[in-house]
Structure 1
């Protein structure tokens, strides 16, 4: 069995959603190999990162190796294309963050979505050109392409990134949020009342479609509620781009996992009005914590949320007003959405994702007598 190398370029930057997926999937893979018999030892598995990598993930046994002459932005890109294929020349290389070296042919590359084609206005010109150049090459040179939803698979085929027979879907997990001890005091400290606010991600990317939430919360019917936005984009950021921000919008900035968990648990709803998503992890994270979700029926959101989330048209503010008002006015509906949301989100675990990855890597992972399977583990 060949050694396995994970591309650790993601350790050079502050974590985003894609980087969170990489780290959680590697953690789950490590747990799987430790707890089950397999054809590989963890001494044969490593994460290889540029020497500039600052983040230190808490892997138990998988080594993090920093190596290569190129480090630091923007030199991490030549590191990935020149250093990494040489370092991993005798290994099976796994790239989990949309990119990888085109001249390492024994590799699996996870491409999360086709957003650079679907919503080009969300990205800089250089970013779009680079992705549109490299990703189709990876589609041809990689042993296989991974993606995170059937929707993303369809779009990658549509735009010629890779043929369908070469693409495998591995859904994200969302159960990592259950490991966080919520910082319940953060809600009151932020001046918020339980179930009197709607939570959403603060992003100026066009496909995140925050404008429709601003328009909804400008409606007097929602004047008694607050829209809480978490993330890097501030009120001044939106206003500089021509957005009109209603007075009942609160920006809490970048927050940690414990604070986010508390906000989700005590929110009236989590709103995701995106016009396209390759997966849609934040609504599922909210749902597994018992927060009702309202989504736009776009991209992979209906695929992963199923019937367990309310839906509103992404371009019709009054539909968002009506869905929010229905939750605020009906305790039975809130209770139903909490329960159905938890049930749906529990289907998406990192254990399941790791098992699928292990199978693709050629590992025959066998349960030991007495080991809990994914369903048993989820129910604890």
Structure 2
């Protein structure tokens, strides 16, 4: 049996869904190597547009560049031709709209739930595409019970027909750590609270900045990892305190060091299909203050402190609890490590593979 993987993600920048695809494919590659996936019965191929792709080392899965188009045109017009009659696995929401012999991983339905955060063209195209995926795909997979409910609600797809498979964390567990990064950036002078910024209003970074005004002490720094320029918040009338350090883009190894060195990680997002950053933080022993919305309680379980993302003072109160109680912080570290052990890219890939034959 040939299994083709929609490899358009290899032509894109690595954000959440591209990270998912890369880690799942690497896990598939290992499962073939160990014999869990019988290579005499199954052949895996990644098909990508015939353009520059990011470096991706695999031992047992071949990457083939096909077609003349790129982007959505390649995905909708050319990709179906090259996988005609064979199984196609789409790992990043999108796929050929009318193909039946395919499994599609839909991570969330944010274009329906938070349509104001997307351009008119983007949201309407994705609404149409996701609706087609839900209607024609052999199977829909998603990454949380929350997303299963959202897919059923917005795409009119029966919950019983949607399989939930959680994401994993080996990429942060076994990935390299930039051991001197904290010292080189001067972040070892004071304890710091870590946040991941984003231009997407859904990430709700401005609530963290507002929360800082409620804290009793400023004997710590707030470190922002991500590409957002803090000046973008000036339009909301938010003044960044002097103890905010903006790092800009950070690599995976630098992010791992930031998680490990942080006093805590704050993630007050309004809407997440899964929420990989909190899982990454827990995996390396960083205590978390997490939004109580969407899928995030599924990820955090009983191992985190929860906040109302609409109330900056509530975020501040949870930070204050950690600042005032070292035992609580240590307890969250232990519980976080236990909670993180429940997630695995290997298990994710095994369940996805089993879905092919269900």
TM bucket, shorter chain: over 0.9
1:197-216 deviation line (CA, Å, top 9, x unaligned): 11111112121111110101
Distance 1:13 1:24 in 2: 15
Equivalent position SS for 2:216: helix
**Aligned CA-pair RMSD:** 1.7
Distance 2:120 2:238 in 1: 23
- The CA deviation at 1:40 is 3.9
2:214 paired residue number: 219
TM-score, normalization by structure 2: 0.95
The answer as to whether partners of 1:95 and 1:109 remain within 8 angstroms in 2 is yes
1:139 matched to 2:134? The reply is: yes
Q: How many residues align structurally? A: 358
- The CA deviation at 1:241 is 6.1
- Specify which of 100, 113, 121 is matched with residue 105 of structure 1: 100
Distance 2:62 2:190 in 1: 44
- The CA deviation at 1:347 is 0.3
- The CA deviation at 1:352 is 0.9
The answer as to whether partners of 2:283 and 2:340 remain within 8 angstroms in 1 is yes
- The CA deviation at 1:230 is 1.1
- The CA deviation at 1:178 is 1.1
1:321 matched to 2:316? The reply is: yes
- Specify which of 170, 183, 186 is matched with residue 188 of structure 1: 183
TM-score, normalization by structure 1: 0.90
- The CA deviation at 1:287 is 0.3
Q: How does 1:84-233 map to 2 (within 5 A)?
A: 84-193=79-188, 196-233=191-228
- The CA deviation at 1:318 is 1.8
Q: How does 1:196-275 map to 2 (within 5 A)?
A: 196-239=191-234, 243-275=238-270
Distance 2:297 2:315 in 1: 16
1:161-195 deviation line (CA, Å, top 9, x unaligned): 52223211110002210112211211122121377
Distance 1:234 1:113 in 2: 27
- The CA deviation at 1:126 is 1.5
Query: Unmatched 5+ residue regions in structure 2?
Result: none
Query: Unmatched 5+ residue regions in structure 1?
Result: 364-380
The answer as to whether partners of 1:175 and 1:285 remain within 8 angstroms in 2 is no
- The CA deviation at 1:303 is 1.1
1:302 paired residue number: 297
